[in-house]
């Protein structure tokens, strides 16, 4: 997989996670720890995208 394809895949995962976080926040009874975990993963993906984009 070349770098551009890898970055695109990371961006897709980041966007999908954004949607999941929004849905979880809107849903009743969602565990706050699950939302925090998703947000941390989203941040990790964003940081990796930034690192690879500059590299």
pLDDT in tens, 41-51: 999 999 999 99
Range of the domain at 21: 3-54
Global pTM value:
0.89
DSSP states of 1-50: --HHHHHHHHHHHHHHHHHHHHHHHHSTT--HHHHHHHHHHHHHHHHHHH
Tokens representing 5 are 């394809």
Closest CA to 39 of 15, 11, 13, 18: 18
pLDDT of 36: 98
Q: What is the pLDDT of residue 42?
A: 98
Q: Indicate the number of domains in the chain.
A: 1
């Amino acid at each position: 997989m070349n770098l551009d394809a890898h970055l695109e895949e990371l961006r897709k995962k980041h966007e999908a996670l954004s949607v999941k976080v929004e849905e979880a926040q809107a849903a009743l009874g969602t565990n706050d720890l699950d939302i925090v975990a998703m947000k941390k993963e989203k941040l990790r993906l964003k940081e990796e995208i930034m690192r690879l984009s500059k590299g």
